[in-house]
Structure 1
Amino acid sequence: MSVISDAPAVAAAQPSALAQRLYRAIWRWHFFAGLLAVPFMISLAVTGGLYLFNDEIDASLFRYRNYVTVGGAELPPSAIVEKAVAAVPGGTLSSYRTPAGADRSARVTVSTGAGKVLVFVDPYDGAVLDTVGAKEEFNQVVEDLHSLDYFGTAWERIIEVVAGFAVVLVLTGIYLWWPRSQTGGVVSVRGTPARRVFWRDLHAVTGIFASVLILFLAFSGLLWTGFWGSKVNGYLTANGMGYPAELWDRVPHSMLVTSDVLPKTAWLMENAPVPASTPPGEGQVALPPIGLDNAVTIANAAGMLPGYDLSPSAGETGVYTAAIYPADLQYERTLHIDQYTGERLVDTAYADYPATGKLIEWGINVHKGQEWGLFNQLLMLATCLVVIAMSLSAVVMWWKRRPKGRIGVPPGPRGGRIYLGLWAIAAIFGVLFPLTGLTILAMILLDQFVIRLVPPLRRLFS
Structure 2
Amino acid sequence: MSAFTAAEPAATTSDHISLYRAIWRWHFFAGLLVIPFLLNLAITGSIYLFKDQIADTFYAHRNIVADTGPMLPPQKIVDAALAAMPDATATSYREAAAGDRSAVVTVLKGGQSTLVYVNPHNGDVLGSVGSKEEFSWVVKRIHSLEYFGTWTNRIIEIVGGFALILVVTGIYLWWPRRQTGGVLTVRGTPSRRVFWRDLHAVTGAVAGIVIFFLALSGMPWSGYWGANVNAWLTSNDLGYPASLWDDVPKSTKVTQDVVNRPGWIVENAPVPLSGVAAASKSIGLDKAVEIARGLGIAAGFSMALPSDETGVFTASIFPKDLSKERTVHIDQYSGRPLVDLSFDQYPAFGKAIEWGINVHQGQEWGLFNQLLMLATCIAIVLSCVTAVVMWWKRRPAGRLGVPPMPPQRSVYIGLWLIAIAFGAAFPLTGLAVVAMLLADQSVIRFVPPLKRFFS
Q: Normalized against structure 2, the TM-score is what?
A: 0.95
- Which residue in 2 is equivalent to 1:278? 275
- Which residue in 1 is equivalent to 2:50? 53
**2:221 partner SS:** coil
1:73-222 mapped onto 2 (5 Å cutoff):
73-222=70-219
1:58-457 mapped onto 2 (5 Å cutoff):
58-280=55-277, 285-457=278-450
* Distance change >3 Å, CA 301–CA 436, structure 1 → 2: same
* Alpha-carbon distance between aligned partners in 1 of 2:32 and 2:360, rounded to the nearest angstrom: 25
1:25-36 mapped onto 2 (5 Å cutoff):
25-36=22-33
**1:359 partner SS:** helix
Shift of 1:161: 0.3
Which residue identity is paired with 2:144?
S
CA contact (8 A) 2:91 2:307 kept: no
**1:316 partner SS:** coil
**2:128 partner SS:** strand
Which residue identity is paired with 1:38?
I
Which residue identity is paired with 1:421?
G
**1:321 partner SS:** strand
* Alpha-carbon distance between aligned partners in 2 of 1:264 and 1:153, rounded to the nearest angstrom: 19
Kindly provide the CA deviation profile for residues 368-396 of structure 1, in whole angstroms up to 9, marking residues without a partner as x.
11111111111111111111111101111
* Alpha-carbon distance between aligned partners in 1 of 2:421 and 2:356, rounded to the nearest angstrom: 24
CA contact (8 A) 2:74 2:285 kept: yes
Which residue identity is paired with 1:174?
I
**1:392 partner SS:** helix
* Alpha-carbon distance between aligned partners in 1 of 2:155 and 2:91, rounded to the nearest angstrom: 31
Larger deviation: 98-107 or 309-318? Answer: 309-318
Shift of 1:71: 2.3
**2:116 partner SS:** strand
Which residue identity is paired with 1:195?
R
Gaps of 5+ in 2: 1-9
Gaps of 5+ in 1: 1-12
**2:31 partner SS:** helix
Shift of 1:14: 11
CA RMSD of aligned residues (A): 1.5
CA contact (8 A) 2:69 2:99 kept: no
**2:22 partner SS:** helix
Larger deviation: 105-114 or 322-331? Answer: 105-114
Which residue identity is paired with 2:153?
E
* Alpha-carbon distance between aligned partners in 2 of 1:250 and 1:41, rounded to the nearest angstrom: 46
Shift of 1:89: 3.8
Which residue identity is paired with 1:330?
S
Structure 1 residue corresponding to 2:34, chosen from 37, 44, 51: 37
Q: Normalized against structure 1, the TM-score is what?
A: 0.94
Shift of 1:76: 2.0
* Alpha-carbon distance between aligned partners in 2 of 1:94 and 1:352, rounded to the nearest angstrom: 28
Q: Percent identity?
A: 59
CA contact (8 A) 2:14 2:407 kept: no
Kindly provide the CA deviation profile for residues 200-251 of structure 1, in whole angstroms up to 9, marking residues without a partner as x.
1111111111111111111110011111111111111111111011211221
CA contact (8 A) 2:37 2:159 kept: yes
